[in-house]
C-alpha cells in the first residue's frame, strides 16, 4: 500500500507544470483551430460535494463544484483557459504576455502567476477610477499577488480603458449591495463556503432569491453550482464587511483557569 501511495504522489508532482498533448473531446471536435497542447497549471479535477444551504425548497439538493480549490495563488476557473493560452504563448516563442482587466481582476492575477511559473514576463493593464489612476494601487487582494510575482502594472482610467478595446462595460460590475455582501457572509457562517463578491456570490444570491420566490420551480431538482474562485476580491470589500463579521474580544486572564507555576495540565 505504501508503494502505491508513493507512486501516485510522484505522478501528481511530476505532472504539475508539464506540457501535454491535447486531443479535444468529441463535443469540442468542431473547434478550429483546436488547441494541440496544454500546460498543467490547475489542480484538477476539483471536488464536488453537497452544499447544505439553509432554507432550500422541498426536495431541492444543491451540490457545489469547487473550482475555488484549483490552486492557491492560481485558483479559480481562470486556470482552465490559462492551461491552453499559456501553452499557445510558449509554442509561439513569446517572452511575455499582456492582458487587461479591472483593478481586482482574478483573471489578471491568475495570468501573472501562470506567466511567472512558465518564466514569461507579464504586463497587466488594470482599470481603475479617474480619481485613483495616479495613486499607488496598494497591496489589497489580487494586487498583492500580482505585485509579489513581479507583474508590470499599468493603471488606466475607465475612460482610457474604453479606448483600448475593452467590451467590459456595465454599471454593476464588481459593485455590491449591502444585502449581497451580507448574503456572502451568512453563507460562510452557515456552510463554511466563502463565495466571491463579483461572480459566485451574486450568482448564489440570485439563485436563492429565485428559490424563495418560486419554490415550485426548484422543488425536487438537483443543482450543481460552480464556485469559480475569486476569494481574493473579497479583501477589497473589507470596509463594507467589517460590521458584518464575527466579533472578537480581548482575552480576560482573570477568567481563565488558574494554573500553579510548574504544574502541567494533561489534556489527552
Ligand X SMILES: Cc1ncc(COP(=O)(O)O)c(C=O)c1O
Q: How many residues make contact with ligand X (CB under 6 A)?
A: 10
- Using the contact rule CB under 6 A, the part of the chain among 5-13, 137-145, 224-232, 240-248 near ligand X is 224-232
Site for ligand X, residues 104 to 143, rule: CB under 6 A: 106-107
The reply on whether position 146 binds ligand X by CB under 6 A is no
32 annotated active-site: no
Whether the CB-CB separation of 219 and 191 falls below 8 Å is answered with no
The reply on whether position 46 binds ligand X by CB under 6 A is no
The reply on whether position 225 binds ligand X by CB under 6 A is no
Of these residues, 70, 105, 200, 247, which one is catalytic?
105
Least distance in angstroms from the C-beta of 37 to ligand X:
21
- Using the contact rule CB under 6 A, the part of the chain among 53-61, 72-80, 176-184, 185-193 near ligand X is 72-80
Q: Which of 39, 42, 70, 76 binds ligand X (CB under 6 A)?
A: 76
Least distance in angstroms from the C-beta of 100 to ligand X:
11
Q: What is the chain's length?
A: 268
The reply on whether position 199 binds ligand X by CB under 6 A is yes
Least distance in angstroms from the C-beta of 210 to ligand X:
19
Catalytic machinery residues: 105
Q: Which residues bind ligand X (CB under 6 A)?
A: 76-78, 106-107, 196, 199, 228-230
Amino acid at each position: 500500500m505504501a508503494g502505491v501511495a508513493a507512486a501516485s504522489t510522484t505522478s501528481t508532482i511530476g505532472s504539475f507544470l508539464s506540457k501535454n498533448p491535447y486531443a479535444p473531446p468529441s463535443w469540442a471536435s468542431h473547434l478550429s483551430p483546436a488547441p494541440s497542447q496544454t500546460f498543467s497549471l490547475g489542480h484538477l479535477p476539483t471536488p464536488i460535494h453537497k452544499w447544505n444551504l439553509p432554507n432550500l425548497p422541498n426536495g431541492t439538493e444543491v451540490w457545489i463544484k469547487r473550482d475555488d480549490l484549483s490552486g492557491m495563488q492560481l485558483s479559480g476557473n481562470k486556470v482552465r483557459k490559462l492551461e491552453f493560452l499559456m501553452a499557445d504563448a510558449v509554442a509561439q516563442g513569446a517572452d511575455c504576455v499582456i492582458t487587461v482587466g479591472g483593478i481586482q481582476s482574478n483573471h489578471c492575477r491568475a495570468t501573472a502567476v501562470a506567466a511567472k511559473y512558465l518564466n514569461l514576463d507579464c504586463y497587466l493593464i488594470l482599470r481603475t477610477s479617474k480619481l485613483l489612476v495616479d495613486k499607488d494601487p496598494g497591496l489589497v487582494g489580487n494586487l498583492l499577488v500580482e505585485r509579489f510575482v513581479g507583474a508590470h502594472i499599468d493603471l488606466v482610467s475607465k475612460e482610457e480603458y474604453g479606448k483600448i478595446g475593452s467590451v467590459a462595460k456595465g454599471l454593476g460590475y464588481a459593485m455590491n449591495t449591502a444585502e449581497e455582501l451580507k448574503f456572502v457572509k451568512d453563507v460562510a457562517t452557515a456552510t463554511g463556503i466563502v463565495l466571491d463578491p463579483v461572480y459566485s456570490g451574486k450568482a448564489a444570491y440570485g439563485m436563492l432569491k429565485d428559490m424563495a420566490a418560486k419554490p415550485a420551480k426548484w422543488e425536487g431538482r438537483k443543482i450543481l453550482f460552480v464556485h469559480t474562485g475569486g476569494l481574493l476580491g473579497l479583501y477589497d470589500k473589507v470596509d463594507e464587511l467589517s460590521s458584518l463579521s464575527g466579533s472578537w474580544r480581548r482575552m480576560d486572564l482573570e477568567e481563565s483557569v488558574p494554573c500553579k507555576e510548574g504544574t502541567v495540565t494533561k489534556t489527552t
